[in-house]
Every structure is written in structure tokens, then in C-alpha cells.
Chain A
Amino acid sequence: MAWLEAASFSVWVRESVVGFPLTISLHALGMAFLVGVHFALDLRIIGFAPKLPVHLIIRFYPLMWASFIVALLSGLTLLLAYPAKGLTNYVFYLKMLLIAAAFIVGRFLTQKVVKQELEISKNHKMLALVSIALWVSVIVAGRLLAYTYTILLTTDYY
């Protein structure tokens, strides 16, 4: 990982005035709309705003995917800046699994409630709560990454 840490892009993200702050702001903004759109669908399924047509919420999905790309690219940038910090921390892999699980639950709910137009059942509502819980877990894991790492950089002479 030492060569990655020494790569000029990696050094720029770590050491320039704007690199790290800009990346982390983009990561937060991406998260806001990625998780926000999922929350909107979940809340509607749980029973809030019953007069909001559930099939129209997914029309915000292009925004959700764009936000996901922003969060993904900014996340990769953070990983390139401090590869050992994330890759040596099991919380990082847990976060990736939680993101995958949250997407799978979101996709399942979209299929059932929107695409197949099934009546919203108690199980769907439970799953919507699971979806919210999974996204909150992603947030918690992400926040913990800043507190649980054991190695920041493998080399310290930059």
C-alpha cells in the first residue's frame, strides 16, 4: 500500500487545502440524497403521506443513483488517500456489506410495492423499517471509521 499512499493523487487529497475537505463534503452530500430518497420510499411504505403515490417516489431514483455515484467516487478517493486506514479496519468491510444489504432490501421493496403493485402488507412495512435501520447502520459504521482505525498510513515520511 506504500506506493498507493505515495501516488500524487493520494498525496494531493491528504495534503492540499481543498482535497480532503472537498471530498468529505461531497461524500456527505451524496449520502444525503442516496439515503434520503430511500428514506422517502420507506416512510411512505410505513404509512406516512398516504396520498403520495408510491410509484412516483422511484422517479427520484436517477437522483438517488447520481448521489450514489458521488458517494462512491468520493469514498474511493478517501480510500486512495488513506488505503491502509480503511482496508485494515473490519468496520470498513462491514460498512460495504451493510450498503449491499440496504440496496438489496430497497430493490426488493421497489419490486414488490412499485413494480408488481402489490398491496402494502405488514411485512413490507417491517422491511421498510429494516431498510431504515440498515442505512442508519451504514452511517454508524461510516462514522466509526474515523474512530476505530489502527493504522493511518503505512509510511510516515511524506
Chain B
Amino acid sequence: MEEALLSFSQNTGIYSIMGSRWGWPIIESLHFFGLCLLIGTVGLFDLRMLGFVKAIPLSGMHKLVPIGVAGYFLNAITGTMFFTSAPDQYLYNPAFQTKLIFMAGAGINMLFFYSVCFKEVKNLGANQQVSQPVKIIAGVSLLCWLGVISAGRLITFYRPPAYWCFWCG
């Protein structure tokens, strides 16, 4: 697993970018940029669904979400660059594993939102509120993304080999 990831990084040239003098911090900066795009669009959309700034029409605000999706893809790419360039620092890292769980949670939640709830939400205008179940979906989304950010930031500190978690062994 580690070797496959590492050879992917080496064969695609990612490894030499990440190993260059400023490679790692520049890619990290892009990762933070993507995170801010995601929170500034999807995060604020979630807050609006939760009841913040009810005067904002959800239908108009949703047009910001594609920017958040772009931020997400930027982070999927830059994240893959970190992960495949030092897989041993991530695969066994409890902070990274926790981050993946939050990402999976955010992903499943998003699929559920767009397949089940979106038809209720997409036409809502100013001062119109989403139903209680949709509020829960919005809250789960926000919590998952905050979890992704926090766990992501912890990756540096809980590097293996570790005694940091009950499943680390």
C-alpha cells in the first residue's frame, strides 16, 4: 500500500515537487485556500439553512456552492499530493484516519442532501426556512467540515508510531 502510493507520487512527478525547497509549504497554502473557499461558500450556506441571516434567499446563495466544490477539488488534489508523498506519515496516523471519517461523513451527508432535500431547498427565497430534518443535515455538514479542518491540523502532531489512540496498537 505504502509502496504503491509512493511510486504513484514518484512516477507522476508529485514527489519531486513536494521535495523541492518550497514545494510543501506552497501546496499547503493552496490547501488552506481551498478550505477557506469551502467554508466561505458551503459553510455559510449551511449556516443560512440553520437560521443565520434568514433574509438571504437560499436559491440565490446556492450559486456560491460551485466555488466551494472547486475548493474541495483543489483540496482533494493537494491532499493527494501530501498523502502519496509521505504515505507512512498518514496511513497509520489517527488524526488522518479521523479526518477521513469526517470526510466520509460530509460526503454521505452531501449525497443525502442533494438526492433527498435539495428539491425542498433550491427554490426557497428570503425569510423562508428549511424543515427541521434539513436543518439537521446542515448542522451535520458544518460539524463534519469543522472536524475535517481540526483533524487535518492535528495530523502533524499525532504522527506514528503512536500511543495516541486506542486503535493505534
Contact = CB atoms under 8 A, between A and B. Distances in A.
B63 A33 contact: no
A49 B29 contact: no
Contacts of A32: 35-36, 39, 43, 146, 149
Interface in A26-40: 27-29, 31-33, 35-40
A27 B157 CA distance: 15
Contacts of A39: 36-37, 40-41
A39 B33 CA distance: 10
Contact of B63 (A25, A37, A52, A143): A52
A10 B164 CA distance: 23
A92 interface: no
Size category of the A interface is 35 or more
Nearest to A46: B67
B36 A52 contact: no
A50 B63 CA distance: 8
B63 A49 contact: yes
A60 interface: yes
Contact of B154 (A25, A44, A63, A142): A25
A152 interface: no
Contact of A143 (B32, B59, B149): B32
A53 B44 CA distance: 14
A15 to B, nearest CB: 12
B118 interface: no
Given A32-B35, A143-B25, A52 B56 contact: yes
A144 interface: yes
A43 to B, nearest CB: 6
Interface of B: prevailing SS? helix
Interface residues of B, number: 38
Given A32-B149, A36-B40, A53 B60 contact: yes
Nearest to B145: A32
Contacts of B35: 28, 32
A147 interface: yes
Interface string B42-79: 01100100001101110111111001000000000000
Nearest to A147: B25
Nearest to A36: B40
Contact of B60 (A52, A135, A136): A52
A45 to B, nearest CB: 12
B136 interface: no
Nearest to A136: B33
22 contacts: A24-B153, A27-B153, A28-B32, A28-B35, A29-B146, A32-B35, A32-B43, A32-B149, A33-B39, A36-B43, A37-B44, A38-B40, A40-B40, A40-B41, A43-B64, A51-B60, A52-B56, A53-B55, A59-B55, A63-B52, A135-B36, A136-B29
Interface of B: 22, 24-26, 28-29, 32-33, 35-41, 43-44, 47, 52-53, 55-57, 59-64, 67, 146, 149-150, 152-154, 157-158
